[in-house]
Amino acid sequence: MFSTFQLRHFASLSLFLCTMTVRAQTDRAHELASQASSQVTADCQNVATLADCHPAKPTGCSNAASPRYDAYLNFLKNQQPGRDTPPNRVLNITDLISLEDKIPTGISRSNHAQFADQLANLGNSLGEGNIYAVVGYLYFVENTAITSHHRGETCNCQLRGNSTFDYHLGIGFDATLAQEVSSAPPVHDPNNPGPAEQSSVVAEMTPHTRAAKWTVARLNRQRGKQVKVVGQLVLDNVHTNSNEDCAFSAGCREPGDQQDLRGQ
């Protein structure tokens, strides 16, 4: 799933504070890729809060005796680019379709780093880790604390509190479907995808940077409205399989006034 954005939503931190310095926005993708091989897994030990996890654990951590998660994927997810970093450009649906076509053959759940250079240079001014904007309609909101049954993600140090999980936002481009969502919001069920899930891209609001005002209830009130999301382009290779990505199967399982969801 190439259309995952790590969105810039800010609480007390300016987003994506990390252990690296990016010299120029236009070369951000290559700066990140150059650090791919040095990212390693970690064990959580005494991590009890998000403040313990970020930024002390740049690749997150696991409670497993032998962690096997994708350290570079988590490193990308845990970046915090400056709040005022301008997007390279606005992506449209054609760009997003082309990105799916460029998912590297051979990438799996745990080998993201092997493809870092390739993903940093996707052509047409596209590169993983660069900042882009998307304007579309908010089809659904998913609180992954609920849909994951409180199984903590390694990028967030496997914490299991209600405020330690991502929100997934389904962004689509069909005005007619958006009107249907607005007038009669369908129940979002990632295990039983409908038209909204099958025709949307996913943006993630990360808990350690999400502004407090962006509650699930407030986000749900925006469903069907046109929104603008700004964030980092990331290939979430955990989902590059036929059960979860429309690019791999026809039966994928995850797929008004303009609202700016940057939380500024």
Provide the residue ranges of all domains of the chain, joining segments of one domain with +: 4-260
> Mean pLDDT over residues 86-113, rounded?
94
> Mean pLDDT over residues 127-151, rounded?
94
Mean pLDDT of the chain: 85
> Mean pLDDT over residues 67-92, rounded?
93
Q: What is the pLDDT of residue 125?
A: 87
Q: What is the pLDDT of residue 27?
A: 82
Q: What is the pLDDT of residue 1?
A: 60
For residue 128, give Cα distances in angstroms to 29, 31, 135, 234: 5, 11, 19, 5
Q: HSE (CB half, 13 Å, CA atoms) of 196? A: 28
Least confident of 23-32, 121-130, 202-211: 23-32
Cα 201 to Cα 5: distance, rounded to the nearest angstrom: 9
Q: Are 171 and 120 in contact (CB under 8 A)?
A: no
pTM of full prediction above 0.75:
yes
> Mean pLDDT over residues 195-216, rounded?
93
Residue that the structure tokens 């700066």 belong to: 31
Q: pLDDT confidence of 81, banded at 50, 70, 90?
A: confident
For residue 58, give Cα distances in angstroms to 21, 37, 119, 172, 206: 13, 14, 20, 31, 14
Tell me the residue type at 220: N
Least confident of 70-79, 198-207, 233-242: 233-242
Q: What is the pLDDT of residue 11?
A: 25
Q: pLDDT confidence of 243, banded at 50, 70, 90?
A: confident
The gap between the terminal CA atoms of the chain, to the nearest Å, is: 27
Q: Which tops the pLDDT comparison, 5 or 183?
A: 183
Least confident of 8-12, 27-31, 96-100, 111-115: 8-12
Tokens describing residue 232? 């980092």
> Mean pLDDT over residues 73-95, rounded?
92
Query: Is the pLDDT assigned to residue 62 strictly greater than 70?
Result: yes
> Mean pLDDT over residues 8-15, rounded?
27
Q: Where are the beta strands (DSSP E) in 41-184?
A: 90-91, 131-143, 167-172
Q: Are 234 and 77 in contact (CB under 8 A)?
A: yes
Q: What is the pLDDT of residue 56?
A: 97
151-190 pLDDT tens trace? 899 999 999 999 999 999 999 999 999 999 999 999 999 8
Residue that the structure tokens 């954005």 belong to: 5
